[in-house]
Amino acid sequence: MKKYIIQSIRLTVVLLVLLCIVYPISVAFIGKMAKGNGGGEKIIRNGKTVGYALLGQSFSRPEYFWGRPSAVAYNAAGSAGSNKGPSNPDYLKEVQSRIDTLIKYNPGIKTSDIPADMVTASGSGLDPNISEQGAAIQVARVAKARNVDEQKVKDLVAMNTLKPFLGLFGPSSVNVLKLNLDLDKL
């Protein structure tokens, strides 16, 4: 028994060096070559960081495309979903009020045009994307608020749409932050 204890202690120390120092530091070192030097890719405008490419932000003004509802208000110091069950009455009221808000600010759209992602909170609370349909229902509002041609806005949406991987696998999505930054450049 005593032998196993001593062997366990020594083996643990050796493995701590291998697995907790050598391994992670090597990966971090090679990771310096990745985008954002392995610290997360930043988006910089006029010399200032305005966001991270992978993290969604809160957009509420009419001239911007809105992202999905978030349980953490897009504060990336934490992350969480709403954890609301599908039959929770409070939750269902909340969804109904999100539907009403969308209809109010996007006159002309029908309830049946609204895709589920625009009225449900994401898993992380930081989802940077919306569906193509989620962008489509906002085009008219954004174009009007910015006083630009709808077609121009549609083109930008198309430019910021990520198609399924190789055109074959997975969903397509629109990156809200990149789209909004492109809009600001118009």
Residues 165 to 184: which contact other proteins by CB under 8 A? 165, 167-173, 177, 180-181, 184
The answer to the question of residue 130 lying near other proteins (CB under 8 A) is: yes
Residue (150 or 165) nearer to other proteins, CB: 165
Interactions with other proteins, residue window 2-41 (CB under 8 A): 4-12, 14-16, 18-20, 23-24, 26-28, 30-32, 34-41
Residue (151 or 158) nearer to other proteins, CB: 158
Tokens of residue 102, six digits: 């969308």
Residue (134 or 151) nearer to other proteins, CB: 134
Interactions with other proteins, residue window 75-94 (CB under 8 A): 75-89, 91-92
Q: Which residues of 71-84 are buried (b: 16+ CB within 10 A; e: fewer)?
A: bbebebeebeebee
Residue 161, SS3 per DSSP: strand
Q: How far apart are CA 45 and CA 34, in angstroms?
A: 20
In this chain, which of 53, 136, 140, 145 binds other proteins, going by CB under 8 A? 53
The answer to the question of residue 107 lying near other proteins (CB under 8 A) is: no
- Nearest Cα neighbor of 70 from 104, 28, 118, 3 is 118
Residue (73 or 147) nearer to other proteins, CB: 73
The answer to the question of residue 99 lying near other proteins (CB under 8 A) is: yes
Q: How far apart are CA 24 and CA 26, in angstroms?
A: 5
C-alpha Rg value of the chain to the nearest Å: 22
- Which position has the token pair 């985008």? 35
